[in-house]
Each structure stands twice: as structure tokens, then as C-alpha cells.
Amino acid sequence: LASRMKKTGAEVVKTLMKNGIMASMSDVIDFDTAAIIAEEMGCKVEKEVIVTIEEKLIDTAEDKAEDLIDRAPVVVVMGHVDHGKTSLLDYIRSAHVVDREAGGITQHIGAYQVEVKGKPITFLDTPGHEAFTAMRARGAMITDVAILVVAADDGIMPQTIESINHAKAAEIPIIVAINKMDKPEANPERIKQQLTEYELVAEDWGGETIICPISAKTGEGVDNLLEMVTLTAEMRELKANPNRSAHGAVIEARLDKGRGPVATLLVQNGTLNQGDVIIAGTAVGRVRAMQNAQGETLEHAGPSVPVEIIGMAEVPQAGDDFHAVADERMARELAEQRKHDQKMASSSALGKVTLEDLFSQIQQGEVKNLNVIVKADVQGSAEAVKASLEKISNEEVRVRVIHCAVGAINESDVMLASTSGAIIVGFNVRPDSNAKISAARDHVDMRMYRVIYDCIDEIEAAMKGMLSPKF
Ligand code: GDP
């Protein structure tokens, strides 16, 4: 500062002292202090504004209300294995995709759009919450509504509960589809009863959850379900601006032998055009051709439209965001920078919560809630642990159990922990091998206990910064 003002260090220190700041020449002073001192010494200070390539390249201007139009909702289908997710997606696709000259053969590109009474709906057609969570883990918030499929002859199962908690964590509305109603043993009332335990109370039971009985096999009730999706979406007033460069997320991507990198993109805002230069994560390219799920070639894709594109130089990752940009050279530069940043980030586990450094994170105001996932061998202890944990909140932190279930710790638990900044506690259960690998990779803190008291004790200690280090 002294040299910039063409003064000596001693003069600056003296002025600081006059203002009651006892600093030596090796101390660091903040901008506001420097500004006051400089003024006093007859200089004018200006904050240096550093514009990053990202800011130069990517248009992040807010949309004006008058530019916005309605966009289709983006729907994910979740639920327990074998409850009929794939059957439902297949039924909707075959019943509602308008067959045009392409011959009506729809291909799997990861998402498709249908029209119901003139209103479009976009479905992610990779069923299950794995894809959904993997995307959320990478920061992509792409879904507007979740359809939770529950088989009427089976009821709520572990992955049903996982799906509910994933949708809740993502703060998207859940519409329940009670499937397999064509089966004689179907018992929808029992399922409505079970759902109340997860704060999903049917409308005819005095709640607000839309519950649609359907059969993915006969198609009975599916139209009603789709109308409910449209209604729910309308209440959310989903809007986008088609008149700007496209921005969205990568749904799927792979390397095709003949065509090179192939990626399915979901446009979330703006319009993607054939010929556009795009950057998706660390991959750059030009959209050489675009197709929808019916194999039709498109020149433009507006908001909520999923398209498969070719022309990327590398395969992007599912969940990456993409932007159409004006300057290809700068886009390459940004991609290089992101690659570098990723390398740096993977060597440190930023933003992750662990009991070890919980206290310092609390002190720095980084943590207000301690999110916990509880897995136990029996329902009774899972519930008991949940209740005890939620009682130990103090003024600085609140303990929130975001998922509580019976069974071994699996990969889905780790993904939920990773996206929600949660720790996992297990009682008389162990992580399976995939969970172990993911937890190590994503730096998720997992702790196993045999006694509830030990767990409470350890978390309380961590909240007070009194946890003894683990060796
Ligand atoms: P996913 O694992 O949730 O994707 O479930 P699938 O869609 O693969 O369905 C699992 C099994 O249930 C398959 O054998 C389907 O044929 C059957 N299934 C799905 N929906 C229905 C339905 O509405 N009624 C009957 N009876 N069977 C169904």
C-alpha cells in the first residue's frame, strides 16, 4: 500500500496508529481500513474488479418477467425395485409420444417429452433415484415433480422410503402412483395408511398429497396421473425465457463408436440451436446435430426439451451443467481452468461435514444443522436413535435426521449424505462394499455403534469441540 501511494511504510504505520490500529509493516489490513488510511494520506482507492473467464463467457443475466413463457415440468419416476417404474415410463411413452414419420420407434436417450391434452411433460426415463441423486450430487437441480410408484400388492419398501427422502431433500412435490391396481390383492387403503407415516397424507384422508391408483399394465388411471402432474406443475408456475442462449444439464453421455461423444442435454433455459458452441463441465464442442427421443432431427430446442446431440470433443458427465456460448476459444480456456480446479478440489474435501471438524465448522458459522442418516438392524432402535439424536440440538446446531431406515448402509445412503452434507450413523449394521467405496471417494463420515449411548455421547462431544481424535 505504501509503495502504491509513494509513501514510506513508516508513514502508513503512523497513520494507522493515529487511527487506533496498532499494526506493524508485516500485518495485513483489510480493504476498508486501507481506504480510510489512504484517504487521509491524500490518495484515492478503488476496488480492483477481477472478471473471470466464466463471467465473461457465460451470460447469467436475470430474465425479465415479460420474456418468460410457461415451460414443461420435468418429472422423475422413483420407487422400490419391481414396483413398476419402467413399465409406467414405457406405457406413457408408447401411449403419448406422437408418432410421426420417424416410424414411431422411440429410442432411449435418457429423457422424452409427451403431450397430454396439448400440454407437454418431460420425463427422465432412467427410473430410480440413483440417476436422480447422482445428478443432484453434481449440483444439477433439474426435476420439478417426482412420481413415487408404490405397488398396491407390496406396499412401502426400503427404496420407497429412500425415494421419499430424496425427493424431500430436493424439495420437489411428490405425487404417489399406487400401481398394479389390476391385481386382485391390490390394497390401496393399506398403502395410504403406510404413507401417512412419511407425512404423505392422501387428500381423501384430509391431507394434501395427490395419490393416483394406476395400472402400468392396463394403462388404467395413467391419464389421470398425467393430468395431476400437469396440475401440480401449473401450481408451481414453471417459466423460462426461450430468447437467450441455452443453459441446462447433461442427462446422459457416452462414447459412440461411429458418432463420437453423444450427450443428452436437457435445456433448462434459453434455446439450443444446431451449430451452437457449448461447454458442458470440462467438455467443449459444437452442436453438429440434435435429435429427440423419436429420432427426429431438430434445429432448435427450447426450455424443458431433451435432445441428444453429437459434436462434443469429449464425453461430458451426467449432471454437468452446460451453456451455449459465443466464443469457442474462451470456452476451451474455461474448460482447462475447470479441469485444473477439479484436480485441486479432489485433493481437499471441501464442504463436507465430519464429526472431527464439526466444531470448527460451527464456530465459523458454516454449519447450522447437523444432518444425520440413521441405519439400524431393527426398526425399534432406528426410531430410538432418531428420537435421542433430535433431542441433543443446542443453540448453535440443530441435529436433523434426514433419513432413518433398517438395513445395511448402501450407496444410496452415501449419495444422500454427500448431497445433503450429512454424516451416517449405523447401529449393529455395516456399510456394504459399494457404500464403502463411495464414502471414501466422497469423504462421507460414517460411524458404527453398538450402543445408542455411545453415539449420543460422541455427537454431543463433537458439537462442543471435545471429541477425542480418532487414530
Ligand atoms: P421397476 O423395477 O420398478 O422398473 O419395475 P418394472 O416396471 O420392471 O415392473 C416389475 C414387474 O411388475 C414386471 O414384471 C412388470 O410386468 C410388472 N408390473 C408393472 N406394472 C404392473 C401393473 O400395473 N400390473 C401388473 N399386474 N404388473 C405390473
* Model confidence pLDDT, tens digit, residues 89-105: 999 988 876 554 444 56
pLDDT over threshold 60, residue 351: no
- Picking from 4, 194, 159, the residue whose alpha carbon sits closest to that of residue 82 is 159
pLDDT reported for residue 101: 46
Closest-lying ligand 1 atom to the alpha carbon of residue 215: 23
Give me the pLDDT at residue 131, please. 62
Q: Could you give the CA distance from residue 25 to residue 101 in angstroms, rounded to a whole number?
A: 77
Minimal-distance CA residue to ligand 1 atom 2: 82
pLDDT band (50, 70, 90) for residue 344: low
| pLDDT digit string, tens, across residues 413-458 | 998 888 888 899 999 999 998 899 888 888 889 999 988 888 888 8
Q: Please answer whether residues 370 and 461 qualify as being in contact, where contact means their C-beta atoms are separated by less than 8 angstroms.
A: no
Confidence label for 287 from pLDDT (cuts 50, 70 and 90)? very high
Q: What are phi and psi of 65, to 5 degrees?
A: -55, -35
Q: Is the pLDDT of residue 468 over 70?
A: no
Q: Indicate the range of 86-95, 285-294, 396-405 predicted with least confidence.
A: 396-405
Compare 373 and 355 and report the one with higher pLDDT: 373
**pLDDT category of residue 138 using cuts at 50, 70 and 90:** low
Site to probe by mutation for ligand 1, drawn from 77, 82, 159, 214 as the one with most ligand atoms within 8 Å of Cβ, is: 82
Ligand 1 pocket member 56 (CB < 6 A) = no
Residue 19 pLDDT = 87
What value does the mean pLDDT of the chain take? 87
**What is the pLDDT, as a whole number, of residue 417?**
87
- C-alpha cell at position 461: 462431544
Nearest to 137 by CA among 469, 429, 411, 467: 411
CA 333 to chain centre: 26
* Ligand 1 and 153: CB distance under 6 A: no
Cβ contact 245:287 at 8 Å: no
Coil, strand or helix at 197 = coil
Name the residue with cell 429412500: 162
Q: Is the CB of 212 under 6 A from ligand 1?
A: no
Q: Is the CB of 85 under 6 A from ligand 1?
A: yes
Q: How would you label 16-54 residue by residue, b for 16+ Cβ within 10 Å and e otherwise?
A: beeeeeeeeeeeeeeeeebbbbbeebeeebeeeeeeebe
**Lowest mean pLDDT, pick from 271-285, 286-300, 329-343:** 329-343
CA of 81 to the centre of ligand 1 (A): 9
Q: pLDDT band at 345, cuts 50/70/90?
A: low
Atom of ligand 1 nearest to the CA of 218: 23
The predicted structure's pLDDT at residue 471: 42
pLDDT of residue 102: 46
CA of 107 to the centre of ligand 1 (A): 20
Check pocket membership of 183 for ligand 1, CB cut-off 6 A: yes
Work out the average pLDDT over 77-90.
93
Residue 127 has pLDDT above 70, yes or no: no
Of 63-72, 289-298, 301-310, 335-344, the one with minimum mean pLDDT is 335-344
- CA–centroid distance, 216 to ligand 1, in Å, is 7
CA of 414 to the centre of ligand 1 (A): 27
Q: Alpha helices, DSSP H only, in 52-157? A: 53-57, 85-96, 129-137
Question: Within a 13 Å sphere around the CA of 279, how many CA atoms are in the beta-carbon half?
Answer: 22
Indicate whether residue 83 lines ligand 1 (CB < 6 A): yes
Q: Which amino acid is at 131?
A: A
* 162 C-alpha to ligand 1 centroid (Å): 19
Confidence of residue 182 (pLDDT cuts 50, 70, 90): very high
Question: Is-contact 279 59, C-beta < 8 A?
Answer: no
Taking the centre of ligand 1 as the mean of its atom positions, its distance from the CA of residue 82, in whole angstroms, is 6
* Triad 22, 28, 33: Cα angle to 5°: 70
Sign of CA dihedral 188, 189, 192, 197: negative
Give ipTM to 2 decimals.
0.99
> 159 CB less than 6 Å from ligand 1?
no
Residue 83 CA, ligand 1 centroid: distance in Å:
6
Nearest to 170 by CA among 133, 115, 202, 211: 133
Nearest to 450 by CA among 441, 460, 458: 458
87 CA → ligand 1 middle, Å: 6
**Most confident region among 6-15, 226-235, 249-258 by mean pLDDT:** 226-235
What CA–CA distance (Å, rounded) separates 58 from 279?
Answer: 10
* Cβ(87) – ligand 1 distance below 6 Å: yes
Q: Distance between CA atoms of 456 and 467, rounded to whole angstroms?
A: 12
State whether the beta carbon of 127 lies less than 6 angstroms from ligand 1.
yes
For residue 81 and ligand 1, the question of a CB distance below 6 A is answered with yes
Tell me which residue has cell 460422541. 458
Is 415 in a helix, a strand, or coil? helix
Please spell the DSSP secondary structure of 207-238, one letter per residue: S-B-EEE--TTT-TTHHHHHHHHHHHHHHHT-
Indicate whether this model's pTM tops 0.80: no
CA 122 to centroid of ligand 1, rounded, Å: 21
- Give the relative orientation of helices 452-463 and 379-391 as an angle to the nearest 10 degrees: 30
Q: Which atom belonging to ligand 1 lies closest to the Cα atom of 214?
A: 23
Percent of the chain beyond pLDDT 70? 91
Give the whole-number percent of the chain exceeding pLDDT 90.
49
Q: Residue 350: its pLDDT value, please?
A: 47
Please name the residue whose Cα sits nearest to atom 25 of ligand 1: 180
The CB of 129 under 6 Å from ligand 1? The reply is: no
Is 179 near ligand 1, meaning CB less than 6 Å away?
A: yes
CA distances from 380 to 19, 374, 435 (A): 64, 12, 23
Query: Does the Cβ of 90 fall within 6 Å of ligand 1?
Result: no
- Quick: pLDDT tens for 195-211: 999 999 999 899 999 99
